[in-house]
Structure 1
Amino acid sequence: MFPHYLEDLAPGQRFQYGPISVDADKIKAFAAEFDPQPFHLDEELARDTLFRGLAASGWHTAALTMRLFVDSPFKPAGGLIGAGVEELRWPRPVRPGDALRIESEILEVRPSKTRPEQGIVKVRTTTLNQHGEPVQVFVANMVVARRPG
């Protein structure tokens, strides 16, 4: 795979990658360290919550999405450098046994007005479960290098 310079990208381009599997032990381990709430830690306690069962933390879903994004065919020159997130939603929970994949779409490409060596690319990435249902949607602005010379 080659690096994608700003000039290589255009609105409408799509990149896909996955799947990655989610299991109860990983959900609980992430939650124990970063989001220790009962619905992320204990199947029995989780049954009586809004989630009606064990659910991954949204931040765990975000971390899994980032892993998929890094491994995907989308390879911006200079790396995956975020300049901010405009939108982040979790429309449904991630459950043990889910297999997640991502679909990313370039929404906007614009050269920087103040830094001629780079630009900003707006990307929407949707994380889907094995049923094709979205479990996370985020829109991020990324810094991408321009082609040298």
Structure 2
Amino acid sequence: MSGLYFEDCTEGLVIEHAIRRTVTEMDNILFSSLTYNCAPLHIDAEYAKSSIYGKPLVNSMFLLGLVAGVTVIETTLGTTLGNLGFQEIKFPNPVFYGDTIRVRTEIVNARLSKSRNDSGIVTFRHVAMNQRDEEVCTAVRVGLMKVRPQQ
């Protein structure tokens, strides 16, 4: 497993995730369609031309999902019992087709579970940047992480 066990999640640890992802028109249209988000700002190029952006805006829920997904291999793959929640989600700059997203994660807090002896609660802060080094998404995520198995 490549994910971190609770013991690996030390406060202040920063991970620059290796995977980057260029967002495509297909990503945006498919995600918006699958989630029934028919906002013309996401799926109607003619409508979007008259918006403040002048072109379609990538669905922010797709972006949040991408940010969380990019972090999995190096943080939670095989070592999490589940997400407990997201908070403080922000989208300070828009994302458009062709933008390449990279993500950095910091461990903000880690404590053993009070009700379970097999896990701890870890708070992650994810920051996504585009190719121009502009922040496009920040999110605080809390996860229930496995304690390292006894040998």
TM-score by length of 1: 0.89
Deviation at 1:80?
6.6
Deviation at 1:76?
5.8
Q: Structure 1 stretches (4+) deviating beyond 4 angstroms? A: none
Gap regions ≥5 residues in structure 2 = none
Give 1:49's match in structure 2, choosing from 48, 51, 74. Answer: 51
What amino acid is the match of 1:64?
A: L
| 1:92-111 pair list within 5 angstroms | 92-111=93-112
Match of 1:9 in 2: 9
Gap regions ≥5 residues in structure 1 = none
Deviation at 1:66?
2.5
Match of 2:126 in 1: 125
Give the 3 Å change call, closer, same or farther, for CA 112–62 of structure 1 in structure 2: same
Deviation at 1:56?
0.7
What amino acid is the match of 1:37?
A: A
Q: Distance in 2 between matches of 1:45 and 1:80?
A: 42
TM-score by length of 2: 0.88
- Aligned-residue CA RMSD (Å): 1.8
Aligned length: 148
Give the 3 Å change call, closer, same or farther, for CA 147–56 of structure 1 in structure 2: same
Q: Distance in 1 between matches of 2:38 and 2:82?
A: 29
